[in-house]
Structure 1
Amino acid sequence: MTETTTGAFRDPNDTPPLAQAVPLGLQHVLAMFASNVTPSIIVAGAAGLAFGGPEQVYLIQMAMLFAGIATLFQTVGVGPVGARLPIMQGTSFAFVGVLAGIAATQGLGVALTACIIGGAIHFVLGAFISKLRWLFPPLVTGLVILAIGLYLIPVAIKYAAGGAASFQMEAESFGSLKHWSVALTVVIVALVLKFFTKGTISNAAILIGLVAGYVLAFLLGMVSFGAVGKASWITGITPLPYGFEFSLGAVIAVTLVCIVSAIETVGDTEATTKAGAGRGASDREIAGATYADGLGTAIAGVFGGLPNTSFSQNVGIVGMTGIMSRHVVTIGALVLILCGLIPKIGAVIASMPLPVLGGGVIVMFGMVAAAGLNVLSEVRMNRRNMVIIAVSLAAGLGLNLVPTAVQYLPGVVKTLATSAVAPTALVAIVLNLALPEEI
C-alpha cells in the first residue's frame, strides 16, 4: 500500500477497508520501530544495566508499550488531549544525551523522575504553545537538533566498534574487523534498500538492515539467546520501578528538551495536515498534539518508559500514501502495545549485539544531525546568525566534551552545562533575542 491515493481517505475520520488499513498500520510501525527502541538500549547501557538482562528487556518493553499508548492519545484522543490526526508517537532521540548523562551519574530513578515532571510541564505547554513559538525560530530549533545529532554520533561509532567492557564486551576486541563487518552490513543494507527500493521495504530499510546485521552476528557466534529462553510470554508493568528521586538539575535539563520537543511536534502536526489534507493545522489540533506528547511522556516515566514525541518519518508515509485516516495509525499503535506486553520480543531485541545496533544508529544519529542542518537551511547565513551558530555549538558541545572545565560549578548548574542540549539551546535563545538583526 504505497501508492498515493488522490481524493480518497483525506479526512482523519475516514476509515479505509480493513484489508488496506492493516498493511498501512504495519507500515507505520516498521518505519519507526528501530528508532523507537534504540534510546532505551542506550540509556540502559549508560545506567550500567546488564546488556541483554531483564532490566534492559523491561525498558525496551516499555518503549514499545508506551509508544503505542501515546499514539492512541494522539489518534483517538481523550477530551482536549490528542490531535485526532495520524500522528505516530515514539521514544524521542532528543532526550538520549541528557538522560544518558543523568542515568550514568545519578541513576535511572532520577532520570525517570525528571521525565515524569518534565512530561507534566510539557502537558501544560499545550495551553499556550502557540504563544511560545516565537522563542524557537528555525535558527534555534535547527541548532538544538544539530547539537543532539553531533553529541550522539560518537556513541554510534563506539557501539559499531563493539562497545566497551562496561557493556560486557571484551575490551581487547574493540574495533575488530568482526565488529565492523557486522556494523557496516547494517549500514550498507539499509542504504541500498532506502534508495533502490520503494514503498514498505524502503520505509523499513533500517529495520531490515538491523535484521541482516543480526543474522551475520549470529553466524559469527556473537548472539546469545539465553535471555530469550528465560523471558516469559506475558508480563505486567511496574509503577516507579526505580523509585522517585528528585533532582532540580535533571528536571530543568529534561524540561528544556521537552520544550524543544513540543516545538518539533507542532511542526510535525503542521506537516501532517499539509501532506495528507492540503491544509494547515488548527489551534485545537496543535494544542491537542502537545497535550498528548506531554501526557505520554509523563505516564511512560511512571512505568519506566522514556519520553515520547511525534515521529517525523511517519509524516512522510502520510504524504506518500495520501491516506490521512487516523484509524490506520491506531492499528499501528495496537501492534506496538501488543509487542510491549510480550517480554520475549523485548528479549530478542536486547540480544542484539552492540555492533548491530551501532550500524543502525550511525545512520539514525547522522540523520538527526542532517535534520538539524535541514532546518538551518531555512536560515539566512549572515554574520549575526553565523555567530549565533558558532557560539551556541561551541558552548554546548565544548562543555560536554570537556566536563572538567566546569567541575567547580554547583551540581544543578554542572548537570545543565555539560548536557550539550541545554547550553546550546540557552545560548542560542539569548543571543537570538539580544543581537540586533542585520539588514
Structure 2
Amino acid sequence: MIGLIDCNNFYASCERVFNPKLEGKPIGILSNNDGCVIARSNELKPLVPMGMPAFQIPTHIRKQITLLSSNYELYGDMSQRVFDTVRNYTADIEPYSIDEAFIQLNGFNDITTHCQKLRAIVKRDTGIPVSIGIASTRTLAKLANHIAKKQTIHQGVYCLPTNEKGQRKILQAFTIDEIWGVGRRIAEKLQTLLGIYTAWDLRQANLKQIRQQFSVVLERTVLELRGIACIELDDLSTPKKNIMTSRSFGCLTGELFDLQEAIRIHASRGAEKLRNQKSVANAVLVFLKTNRFRKDLIQYHPSIVVPLTFATDDSRLIIQAAQKGLQTIYKKGCLFMKAGVMLLDLKAKNSNSQYDLFTSKSSQKNDKLMQTIDSINQKMGKNTIQLGGIRQQAPWQIKRERLSQRYTTRWDELPLVK
C-alpha cells in the first residue's frame, strides 16, 4: 500500500508554528512582490479567492485578515523537518513537492493506526498538521488524501477501499479534472470525445482508445485507477528540455549595473538547476521586459540567444554568456520590470564529450569546483557561496514588505523566549 502525506495549508501552518497568535485567524500568503494571494488558511478561503491581487481585496475584509509575504526559506526548512520526521517511522519516502510525499506502507498490520500515530508525531515534533491518504496506487492515494483532508470524520487519515464496489461510489464523486495528472485541456477533451466526466468513468475507459487518442501517460492513469501501480516518481521527473529562471523586479530600473546583477543571479541559479538534473546546456537566452501596462513609458521587450562554445554546466561560463547577451540587447532610457535567463538545447552530461581540446585538462577541476559550491550551499544555506555579491536593497530584489522572520535559518532572526 502507498500513502500520500500532505501538509495542510502548509505556508500558513509554517507561519503559525512560530506565531501562535495566528491560530484560527484568516491568513493569506502573497506571491513575489506581494502581488497576489497564492496560499490561504481555511479561514481565509470563504473570504478571498485564490490568485486575487492584494490591492483588490475589499477594505472591510483587509481589516479581518493577515497577509504575509512568501517566506520561502522558512517553508523550505520546515518541509525538510517534516520529511526527516517521517523518515524515522517509514522505510521509504518519496518527496513529491514542498508539502507532499509518497510513503511505502507495506509490512504494517494496521496501516490506518500506524498513519494516525505518524500524523500525531509529525504535529508534535514540527507543529505542522498533515493528512494521509492510503491506497494501492499513487493516483488513488492522491484521491484518498483529498478525502482525508476534506472530511473531518476521518481525523486526517483515510484508507481507500480495495474492492470495486467500495471504490465505485467514491470515484463517481470525483470529476476527471480532480485526478492527479489530468489537466483542464485533457479533461475537456475526455468529456467532448468520450463522454468521460468522473474518475469512475475514466477507470472504465477502453485502454486502447485512451492510448490512441491521448497518450501512454493517461493510459497509465487509467490502470492506476483500477488499482494497478504503474506510475513511478521517476516518470514524472524527467530532465527538463529548457531551464528558465526569471523574476519581476521590486521596482522599475534602467541601470545596466542593476540588470547585470539580476542576470548574474538568474544565470547562476539556472546553472545550479542544470547540475541538479545532470545536464549541460548548449546556449543561453537572455530577455528583458518593460511594464506593458505603463503606456507612458517606452516599451521594449528584447531577447537574444548566445551559443556556448561547448555544452557546459559551469556557472562561470553560463554567466559570461548571459552578460554578453545583456550587453547586446540593453537600451539606455528604458525602465525594465523583469529580466530572465533560459538555458537551451539541454542534453545529458557526458564528461567524455562536453569539453573541447583546449579545455579538457581543466574539466575535472571545473567539475570539482562546481560540486564544492553546490555542496556548501546545500549544507550551509542558499547563496552561502556565490559568484559576485548581492545587494539587499537592489531595485531588482523582490518586494517583501510583510515578511515574517526566518526563524530556523538565520541566527539574527531566531525566535526569542521571554
Q: What TM-score range do you get, normalising by the shorter chain?
A: under 0.3
Q: Which has the higher helix share?
A: 1
Q: Which has the higher strand share?
A: 2
TM-score, structure 1 normalization: 0.24
Greater relative CO (CA pairs within 8 A, separation 6+)? 1
TM-score, structure 2 normalization: 0.24
